[in-house]
Amino acid sequence: MNNIFSDISKKIEPSFADALSEVKKIADDLSIPFFLIGAKARDCILEYHYDIRSPRVTEDIDIAVLVPDWEKYKTLTDALLATSKFSKEKQKQRYAYNDTLIDIVPFGPISGKNKEVKWPPECEVIMSTFGFEEIYKHAITLRLRDNPILDVKMPTIPGLAIMKLISWSERNSPERQKDAKDLLFIMKNYEDAGIESRLYEKESSLLEEEGFDNQLAGIRLLGRDMAKISNADTLEKIKEILSNETGDQTQYELISNMLGISGSFEETLMQLEKLEQGVSEVL
């Protein structure tokens, strides 16, 4: 248990654990590392571990697999299909296990210098994997089932925030609105995600600067934590996105996607600027 961040097995739906267990069994046999990403990772960390209720429910599973090339990726997906427990969906990355949809996104050397994966043979479906490698490097392990044991890696909360921000910048509506709302949810709740002792002990000066507003201090600390796990290219991309969505702009697309038809623009802009400030404070 020393390497287990949290045991949330009593809160996990059996169908979710069964699907992931089948994927993990084959991925481990093929020595293919993977981690859980997307909304299910958000739920596992924020809702099941920290008891912070997620804003929306999803049954779909998104995983990222670390592979060198398409041959290795195909070896994995062929092995899944060979069990007769999985079926292929229309979307290039999508498979089904019973009623559970699973998106399997490759990352690592397969994505090249541009950190993009282009599905063969047409290479028309393009997905960005910007930041995936360092987020995986800093991933945590959660126990999703204790009999038999199922331990799965997933991003830290700062890693999730990076993924949501970059994904928002590269996707089309309405999916990007989900990314924006998830990012705002993470920002607003980071203060309750196990950082209180840090704020009052190691980061007391930051808390004081924010007038002992735990939420604003937490958002700024989230920005710092995002920067600390980012490499130079990812950090530059994060800064560029935040710079284009804060300060004096003619339009604020990220905030618009975050709020939809309700919420305070001024408050959300201030929160986003605190996130940008935190990111910029880390050299």
> Residues 68-126: pLDDT tens digits?
999 999 999 999 999 999 999 999 999 999 989 999 999 999 998 889 999 988 888 78
- The answer to whether 165 touches 234, Cβ cutoff 8 Å, is no
pLDDT value at position 173? Answer: 62
Structure token digits, residue 282: 């880390």
Secondary structure (3-state) at 104 = strand
> pLDDT under 70 in the chain at which residues?
1-2, 172-174, 261-262
Predicted TM-score (pTM) of the model is 0.93
Given this model, what pLDDT does residue 54 score? 83
Q: What is the pLDDT of residue 261?
A: 62
Asked if the bond preceding 106 is cis, omega within 30° of 0, the reply is: no
pLDDT number for residue 151: 97
| Radius of gyration of the chain measured on its C-alpha atoms | 19
Residue 175: predicted pLDDT: 76
Query: How far apart, in whole angstroms, are the C-alpha atoms of residue 195 and residue 184?
Result: 17
DSSP string, 66-86: E-SSHHHHHHHHHHHHHTTSE
Domain ranges of the chain: 6-155, 162-280
Architecture of domain 6-155: 2-Layer Sandwich (3.30)
